[in-house]
Amino acid sequence: MEAPLRVGLAGLGTVGSAVAGMLLRTRDKLADRAGRPIDLVAVASKDPPRDQSLDLSSIKRSDDPVALAKGEGIDVFVELMGGSGDPAKASVEAALGIGRPVVTANKALIAKHGTSLIKLAEKHNAAFNFEAAVGGGIPVIKTLREGLGGAEISRVYGILNGTCNYILTQMQKEGRSFEDCLKEAQKLGYAEADPTFDIGGFDTAHKIAILASLAFGAEVDADAVYVEGIQSITLADLEAADDLGYRVKLLGVAVKTDTGVEQRVHPTMVPKGSVIGEIDGVTNAVAINSDALDLTLVGPGAGGAATASAVVADLVDLASGRRVMPFGRGSAKLKKAVRAPMQDHEGGYYIRLAAVDKPGTAASIAGRMAERGISLESIVQHRRDKKQSSDAPAPVILITYATNEDAMRSALDAIKKDGVLAADPQVIRIEKN
């Protein structure tokens, strides 16, 4: 059997501890699969491992990930510290700069610096693997990069953040507020003490930027992603969606359009009974549409064990000599994608209005929509809550046929100027299968 692949690991948090445990626990099985042993020989972490049951007494310890990345005694550097800046960036660059293979689960790093890092990897003939950066244990990167042959991909979309999906699921199933479900997610460890990165949609934005690059052969451009979070979603929206035959999910969507590549993250209504619509809890799902086939990948999108399995799969590829270009083609073939303006987005919309009960309100709403060529599929006026006074705003739900973002926003601005709304409209896009 060949000499072992010697692994240096930076970061011993939830994922790092899970990777270390998996390498130690399944060494013989991995050797059979890879054709050679994969040995964890060194770790870098200023903190003790999150999993305190790990026995790392025989493993070389350091608190300097950059020194580990470029030092002697390892064959591959695994970065699991997270963050788009240093020390993660500096340590990955140090390893690639001497031609050392790198495996990472760091979506923020790839989303912000992916293009420059693969150029560095190419310059020094170093492998650069990041399957675990998107979808946890779901092999979506390998699928997009290697599994679809010559298929022409038109759209990639899905549920890419388990925290948001858990919160929306609990709200919908148990009739509880956003704030209550967020606190529960934090208590269970699904959400951080500061949950902004997740609930604000930024985590999903990083992931969809990476998937868009793989799908459309473009440089990673996280700044091109339009982002909305789930903070504004209410029980009233979820109940209305249910009545209309939809579920509300936070989706990341990348679509090739006539005007460029559209990348967006926002709460979305998807049909009940669809695969995406039925994904509950912390589970992730990614759908890929192409001219050859459509498929949906479903699985655990976060957590130590799921993400560790993807990291170790990358290590098995390296140990067995399997190597592919990180984005499925050389960096010279990656083009700067033309950004499709969000104003050009076309689709159906759910609009919830707090309409003032006075003459002319209904005419204003219908008229402003008609002026911009927006056709309404349905108009539903809900009864006021019994606790509200008779002059309280009346909730009105509009569902539009396909229109564009610019027309819809222009109509809503005009309606607000007419003074017939008591609050800003709630807008949720509708994504068909």
Catalytic residues: 207
Considering only the C-alpha atoms of the chain, give the largest distance between any 2 of them, rounded to a whole number of Å: 84
- Return d(Cα 127, Cα 100) in angstroms, integer: 7
What number of residues does the chain have? 433
Please choose, from the candidates 240, 187, 219, the residue with its C-alpha nearest in 3D space to the C-alpha of residue 396. Answer: 240
Single-letter residue type at 13:
G
Torsion 341-342-348-351 (CA) sign: negative
Buried b (16+ CB within 10 A) or exposed e, 280-315: bebbbbbbbbbeeeeebbbbbbbbbebbbbbbbbbb
Closest CA to 35 of 314, 320, 311: 320
CA distance 354 to 377: 19
Contact 178, 200 (CB under 8 A): no
